[in-house]
Amino acid sequence: MSTRVYLSKHTCQTTYEEDTPVCLRIQRSRMTVKDLHSRLQYAYQRDDVRLVRRITVLLDLLAHQVPMAVVCERWGLSPSCLYTCQQAFLLRGMDSWAYGHSGGRPPKLTPRQKKRLVELIEAGPLVVGCETACWNSVLIRVLI
C-alpha cells in the first residue's frame, strides 16, 4: 500500500501560534482504492452496516477528495471522529477496521442461570407465583 503525500498548490492561512504554513493532501494509490471498493462489496454481502459506513466515509475522504465539512454533514459525524478514522487508516491500513470487544460490565448471571431464567419467563408469571399474567420489568427484576 503506497501513500503519496504532497503539498497543495493553495496557500494556507497561518495563525499566530504557527510559523510554517503546511497544507497536506493525501492521495491513495489505485491499488488501495481498488481494495477499498472490493472490501466495500464484501461488507455489503455480509450486511455489515458499520463496515459499509466506515469504508464509504474513507472513500469519500481519501479517494474522492470530498471536503471534510461535506462528509461531516452527509454522515452526521463530527470532524474529530473523521480525523480519528482517517488517521487510524493511514497508520494501520486495513487492520484499522477490526472491531474488538468494547468492554462493558461482565454479566452477573452464569449461562446456566440465564437458561433457567429463560425457562421461567417462557412458563409465565403465574407459574412463578405472581398475581398477574403479564411480565413487566419489575417482576423480571424480582425474579432474577
8 Å CB contact between 135 and 125: yes
Same domain, 44 and 85: yes
- The mean pLDDT value for 57-81 works out to 86
Q: Which of 18, 41, 32 is nearest to 61 (CA)?
A: 32
Same domain, 85 and 36: yes
Backbone angles phi, psi at 27, to 5 degrees: -125, 130
Structural domain of residue 42, as residue ranges? 30-97
State whether residue 28 is helix, strand or coil.
strand
CA–CA gap between residue 98 and residue 101 (Å, rounded): 10
pLDDT reading at 138 higher than 60: yes
User: Per the domain annotation, does 24 fall within a domain?
Assistant: no
pLDDT reading at 6 higher than 60: no
CA–CA gap between residue 18 and residue 81 (Å, rounded): 24
* pLDDT the model gives residue 5: 46
pLDDT digits (tens, 9 = 90+) for 80-127: 888 888 888 888 887 777 766 677 888 889 999 999 999 999 988 888
What total of structural domains would you count in the chain? 2
The pTM assigned to this predicted structure is: 0.51
pLDDT reading at 22 higher than 70: no
